Each structure stands twice: as structure tokens, then as C-alpha cells.
Amino acid sequence: MLIAGNWKMNGTPDSMEEFGRMIARAPEATARGIDLLVCPPAVLISKFADRATVSKIAIGGQDCHPKEKGAHTGDISAEMLAACGASAVIVGHSERRADHGETNQLVAEKAAAAQRAGLTAIVCVGETEAERDAGQTESVVAAQVDASAPPSLDAAKLVIAYEPVWAIGTGRTPSVEDVAAVHALIRAKLEERFDVPVRILYGGSVKPSNAAELLAVENVDGALVGGASLKADDFLGIAIAAPKKG
Ligand code: PEP
């Protein structure tokens, strides 16, 4: 089980205090076999990673450029993230797909870049509300998995996060039946192309009060958490609510 926090564009060096509280409480989750990952804004990765050496919280980035280095003003490479202490990076988050026009092809290139640098790539997929209303959830998610997580990736360093776009930051979540159906579809797609099991996270308005129910769903191997990952008590509350799975 992996509980990953996506801090998005939140946090300053003052956030070390809250992160310190997460480190203090992390053993409550890690002692139960739950992996913890925090993805702060890029400017805080080194600081968090230095602090995290005393804990079992892994640190990740929120995006990376496909290239290793060069004339790409404002971008950050996977190699830079790794050198600053990250062990994972989120790619293809719906906010980047929407705000920066990221395509499945680009997301696949970013995932490959992450793995080239030794990072675990957390590839996000998920339908919009209009797509769900049009009955296209399964076809959209299947197409995203096919194109954003091609068989050329290393399954051992790959995680898929199913994040329905309409559930992100809205307080709304799909029913457990809907989560189960989409995760089963993703599992089947992954098994077609990889021999090694790949973790599938659910993301979208996960909080301590709904974590147990969502994380108990078959083929849900953890959560990608936005808003609730900013507070140690909420983040650890989610991790501690995770049921033991075989
Ligand atoms: C996210 O953006 O990855 C996310 C899951 O956000 P939230 O938990 O705030 O819905």
C-alpha cells in the first residue's frame, strides 16, 4: 500500500514544521507496511529530502521534462529531481494535462525520462465529468493507460494513479463500485503488458473519513492525496486507515 501526497503549488520553507510533524508520525504507518511519499513543490525537494533521511518518507517531484538538460527555461529534469533526493515523480496529472496541454505521448516520454533517471513514475489517468456523463469513462481511461504507460516502461518503477478529474479537490468521489470497475480495467490492461505487478492508486478527494472504504476496494493499492496531504494529521489519518491487504 502506498499513500502519496501531492502538495501541488503549496508550501514554502515554513512548511518544514508541518513536514516535521509528518516525519514524527510516519512510523505509525510504516510500521504497518504502508509506504509514504510526499511530493512537495520542486523548490522544497532538497530541503524535504535532507530532512526525510531520518524517516521512512520518500520524496517525489510533481512533474519532469522529458530531456535530461538543455535550453528549456523553467523546466526541471528527472535527473535534477533525483540529484536533489527524489525517488519518484508524478507525471500526467490532470492539472498539467489541462493547464499545459500535456498529451498522452508527452506523458509517456516523461515517464520514460523518470525511469531513465532511476525514479518511479506515477502516471495519472482519469476521465472528466463530461466524459463520465457521456459513458466514456472506461474507454478514456483505457486509452490513457495504453498511450501514457506503454510496454516499453519498466513495470518495477511504475505506478498508475486513477484520478477522476471531477473528483479532484471537489469533495466528491465515485462509488466504490465505480472505483472497483475502473481499477479492474486498469489491472487487466497492465497485466496484458507487464509481468511484474504495478501499483494502482486511487486519487480524488481522499480524506481520513473515506480512506478506509476507498482503500479497501479490490485493486486499489494506495492513494494519491492532494489537499489532505498538506496536514500531517490528515495525511497520516489516511495512511493509518488503510486496511491490510495481501
Ligand atoms: C490530486 O490532485 O492529485 C488530488 C487527488 O487532489 P485532492 O485529494 O485534493 O482531490
pLDDT of residue 246: 61
pLDDT at 223 over 80: yes
d(CA 61, CA 76): 9
Query: Is the minimum distance from the CB of 161 to ligand 1 under 6 angstroms?
Result: no
| DSSP code of residue 55 | S
Residue 246 placed within a domain: no
User: What is the whole-number distance in angstroms between the Cα of residue 13 and the centre of ligand 1?
Assistant: 22
Residue 205 placed within a domain: yes
Arithmetic mean of pLDDT, 207-225: 98
Query: Is the minimum distance from the CB of 237 to ligand 1 under 6 angstroms?
Result: no
pLDDT digits 0-9 by tens, 73-132: 999 999 999 999 999 999 999 999 999 999 999 999 999 999 999 999 999 999 999 999
Residue 24 placed within a domain: yes
Strand-pairing partners, residue 202, are 162, 223
Domain CATH code at residue 113:
3.20.20.70
Ligand 1, residue 93: give the atom nearest the CA.
3
Residue 127 placed within a domain: yes
Number of domains the chain contains: 1
Nearest CA to ligand 1 atom 3: 226
User: What is the whole-number distance in angstroms between the Cα of residue 18 and the centre of ligand 1?
Assistant: 19
C-alpha triplet 12, 203, 146: angle, nearest 5°: 115
pLDDT of residue 244: 83
Arithmetic mean of pLDDT, 204-215: 98
Residue 29 placed within a domain: yes
pLDDT at 53 over 90: no
Residue 47 placed within a domain: yes
Q: pTM higher than 0.75 for the full model?
A: yes
pLDDT digits 0-9 by tens, 153-179: 999 999 999 999 999 999 999 999 999
- What is the domain extent for residue 160? 2-241
Q: Helices 176-193 and 137-148 meet at what angle, rounded to 10? A: 30
* Closest C-alpha to 119, from 168, 66, 171: 66
